Amino acid sequence: MIASTARPYLTVPRLARIPWLIHGFGTRHWKLSDFRKRAGWENFKIVWLKQVHTDRVHFIEAAPNRRLQGDALATDEPGIFLIMKTADCLPVFLVDRSKRVIAAVHCGWRGTRHRILEHVVDGLHARYGCRPPSLLAALGPCIGAPCYEVGNDVRGEYRAAGLAEDVFRPIAGRPGKYLFDLREANRRQLIGAGLDARSVLDVPLCTHCDARLHSYRRDRDTTARLFNFIGRLP
Ligand SMILES: [Zn+2]
C-alpha cells in the first residue's frame, strides 16, 4: 500500500476514496492546531483519550465534556474526529463503509496482549451491527520488528494470554531478548476476529527509522506524539 508523503499526514488510498471519510496518520509536522486550518474541518469536534494501555473502547455519540480513559474510540456520528496519539505504538483505523461506522485504536504491546482489536471488532458488531468481513482496517506507522527489542517478560505475557509466540524472533547471542513484530501481531488479531486479509491495509513505516515520525524509543521524548485521526463528514 503506497502512502502519500507530500502531506503532513499519511493516508491510505482505499480509505481516501470513501467520499464521507477523512483520515490521516500524522507526521511530526501535523499538530493539533492544524485541524482548524483545513477548509471544511473547522467545526469538527476533536475527541481523544487519556490512553492507558487497556482494552477499553468508548462509543461516542457526542464529544464528551471530560477526558475519558481508554485506548479505542468508535462512532457513527459525523463531525467528530477520533484521535489516537502514538510514538512507536500502532494506530489502527476501522471503517464500515455501508453503516458509516469508524473506530480508532491504540495498540501497544500491552493493549495487543489484552486483545484490544478483537474487543473493538466485537464491540462494533454488538453496538452497530457491523459484520467483521465488511470492515476495512488500516494499520499506521509503528516501530518495526527490526527495531523493537523486548525481553522474556513481554513474551511470557503473550504466552500466558494464549497468543502466538512466533511474532517474537530470538536475537542471536542475546539470550532472553527478542525482536517483536507488533504490526503482525495485530494484523493476525484482525484476521482472527473475522476480517478479510485483503481488507487489512497498511502504512508500513517504522517510527524508529523514519525521521518524519516521532519515536519514543529513539527520541526518549515522553511528550512528543503523532496525531492520527479519522472522522465522518457531516
Ligand atoms: Zn525501524
What is the tens place of the pLDDT at every residue in 77-135? 999 999 999 999 999 999 999 999 999 999 999 999 999 999 999 999 999 999 999 99
178 pLDDT above the threshold of 90: yes
14-40 pLDDT, tens digit each: 999 999 999 999 999 999 999 989 988
225 pLDDT above the threshold of 60: yes
Confidence of residue 145 (pLDDT cuts 50, 70, 90): very high
2 pLDDT above the threshold of 70: no
CB atoms within 10 A of CB 213: 26
In DSSP notation, 22-60 reads EEEEE-TT--GGGGGGSTT-TT-EEE--B--SS--EEEE
Query: What's the pLDDT at 23?
Result: 98
Confidence of residue 68 (pLDDT cuts 50, 70, 90): very high
Give residue 219 CA to ligand 1 midpoint distance, Å: 13
Per domain, the residue ranges of the chain are 9-232
Task: For residues 58-64, give the mean pLDDT.
Answer: 95
Give residue 145 CA to ligand 1 midpoint distance, Å: 7
Give residue 167 CA to ligand 1 midpoint distance, Å: 16
Domain 9-232: assigned CATH number: 3.60.140.10
Task: For residues 164-168, give the mean pLDDT.
Answer: 93
Give residue 113 CA to ligand 1 midpoint distance, Å: 21
5 pLDDT above the threshold of 90: no
Confidence of residue 7 (pLDDT cuts 50, 70, 90): confident
Angle separating helix axes 116-128 and 182-192, nearest 10 degrees? 30
Give residue 120 CA to ligand 1 midpoint distance, Å: 27
Give residue 176 CA to ligand 1 midpoint distance, Å: 21
**Cell numbers describing residue 212:** 518524519
3 pLDDT above the threshold of 60: no
Query: What's the pLDDT at 1?
Result: 47
Confidence of residue 191 (pLDDT cuts 50, 70, 90): very high
Give residue 201 CA to ligand 1 midpoint distance, Å: 19
Give residue 188 CA to ligand 1 midpoint distance, Å: 20
74 pLDDT above the threshold of 90: yes
Q: What SS3 state is found at 145?
A: helix
Is 53 within 8 Å of 111 (Cβ atoms)?
yes
Give the list of residues 6+ apart from residue 23 with CB closer than 8 angstroms, or none: 11, 12, 15, 16, 93, 138, 229, 230, 231
Give residue 202 CA to ligand 1 midpoint distance, Å: 16
Q: How far is CA 24 from CA 7, 55, 84, 156, in A?
A: 10, 23, 11, 34
Query: What's the pLDDT at 6?
Result: 53
Give residue 146 CA to ligand 1 midpoint distance, Å: 6
Is 11 within 8 Å of 229 (Cβ atoms)?
no
Q: Partners of 83 in the beta sheet?
A: 229
